[in-house]
């Protein structure tokens, strides 16, 4: 296998900033948009205490409205930087840039680069063209190298062969920053909401994606879980079900109620997580440490099951923001996550309104490594 060109740092590594997009589309929270900017203000209030926050707004009028809300909400405006870049949606985990560190020949890391994976709105929605431009905008702003991962041409490819730019969302992967990545078969290998059609069968698609993970994210071992959680319109994003919290520790969601539709998929995921072994020295053959995380009781609005999960937390400098749902398991989840991050303050963010948009804290944020 070729030497990786870049490495994606783990989320807990030092940040220079967090990137978000200010909410503007009422259709993303139909009938419930009014409280959403105030939830964002609370998120920015906490983030701006510990790092810079870059906020994308559609126009100057939107910037003025956001500034007023943030000021009233107590955000540190000296750490907030606005960019007048229009967006279709606000889920920057999936549409925003993935920052990576270039690897020098001697194995030492150099400057940052931007990975610009193709974004097509989870192969489900038609309004994605503005969002697909965001990584390029950030690369241009920072004068950083911009890498568009593609599937390499097969051996003896004809001259007419066309390259395939890989579709990948940040919420579909989670890395420990040390060569291991988590994802799901449901999201990246299924023919439903198929991200990368034309790469062959599941085996061929898996092989080509793992090659891209190795080359661009510095991944030597990919851990494939079967399925995501109920209510997830992305069809299987990992950041609602399992997350690395250290190089060898994975938080895994569980649902003990056998009548709940999450029970069986999460139990299958847990079985597979326990079966995984480290593939490389010095820990080759050792299992990962698995810590279980409860799910909240089903959050249902307008008759629809929503993808409410404590695993959709966001790790910032000296801080972890965790979605909460006015649920009896809120305190348990906060305590479990706090035990995983003893040097960070763990703060709950009320997300019952936010999750009506089918995403919460991790979905709307994208970290910029220091």
Beta bridge partners of residue 54, listed in sequence order: 19, 81
* Neighbour tally for 344: CB within 10 Å: 17
- Whole-angstrom distance, CA of residue 307 vs CA of residue 150: 31
Q: Strand 319-324 vs strand 345-350: parallel, antiparallel, or unpaired?
A: parallel
Long-range contacts made by residues 205-212, C-beta under 8 angstroms, separation at least 24? Answer: 208/151, 209/166, 211/1, 211/152, 212/149, 212/151, 212/166, 212/168
Angle at 205 (CA atoms; ends 204, 210), nearest 5 degrees: 100
The one catalytic residue among 187, 229, 253, 363: 363
Q: Catalytic: 340?
A: no
Q: Which of 259, 250, 332 is nearest to 289 (CA)?
A: 250
- Whole-angstrom distance, CA of residue 53 vs CA of residue 48: 6
Backbone dihedral angles phi then psi of residue 126, each to the nearest 5 degrees? -95, -20
The catalytic site residues sit at 363
């Amino acid at each position: 296998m070729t030497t990786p060109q870049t490495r994606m740092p783990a989320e807990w590594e030092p940040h220079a900033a967090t990137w978000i997009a200010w909410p503007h589309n009422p259709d993303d929270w139909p009938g419930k948009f009014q409280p959403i900017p105030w939830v964002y203000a609370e998120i920015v209030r906490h983030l701006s205490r510990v790092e810079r926050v870059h906020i994308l707004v559609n126009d100057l009028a939107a910037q003025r409205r956001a500034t007023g809300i943030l000021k009233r909400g107590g955000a540190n405006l000296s750490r907030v930087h606005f960019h007048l870049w229009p967006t279709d949606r606000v889920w920057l985990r999936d549409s925003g840039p993935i920052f990576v560190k270039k690897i020098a020949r001697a194995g030492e890391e150099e400057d940052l680069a931007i990975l610009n994976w193709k974004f097509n709105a989870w192969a489900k929605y038609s309004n994605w063209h503005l969002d697909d431009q965001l990584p390029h905008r950030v690369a241009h702003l920072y004068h950083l190298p911009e890498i568009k991962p593609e599937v390499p041409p097969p051996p003896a490819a004809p001259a007419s062969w066309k390259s395939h730019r890989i579709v990948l969302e940040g919420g579909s992967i989670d890395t420990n920053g040390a060569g291991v990545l988590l994802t799901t078969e449901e999201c990246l290998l299924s023919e439903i909401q198929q991200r990368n059609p034309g790469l062959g069968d599941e085996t061929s698609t898996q092989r080509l994606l793992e090659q891209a993970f190795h080359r661009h994210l510095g991944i030597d071992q990919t851990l494939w879980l079967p399925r995501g959680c109920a209510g997830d319109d992305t069809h299987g994003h990992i950041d609602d079900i399992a997350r690395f919290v250290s190089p060898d520790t994975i938080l895994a969601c569980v649902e003990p109620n056998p009548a709940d539709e999450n029970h069986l998929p999460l139990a299958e995921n847990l079985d597979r997580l326990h079966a995984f072994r480290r593939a490389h020295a010095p820990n080759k053959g050792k299992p990962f440490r698995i810590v279980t995380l409860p799910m909240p009781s089903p959050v249902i609005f307008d008759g629809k099951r929503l993808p409410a999960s404590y695993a959709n937390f966001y790790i910032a400098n000296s801080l972890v923001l965790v979605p909460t749902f006015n649920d009896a398991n809120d305190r348990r989840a906060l305590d479990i996550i706090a035990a995983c991050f003893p040097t960070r303050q763990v703060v709950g963010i009320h997300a019952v309104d936010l999750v009506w948009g089918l995403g919460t804290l991790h979905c709307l944020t994208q970290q910029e490594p220091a």
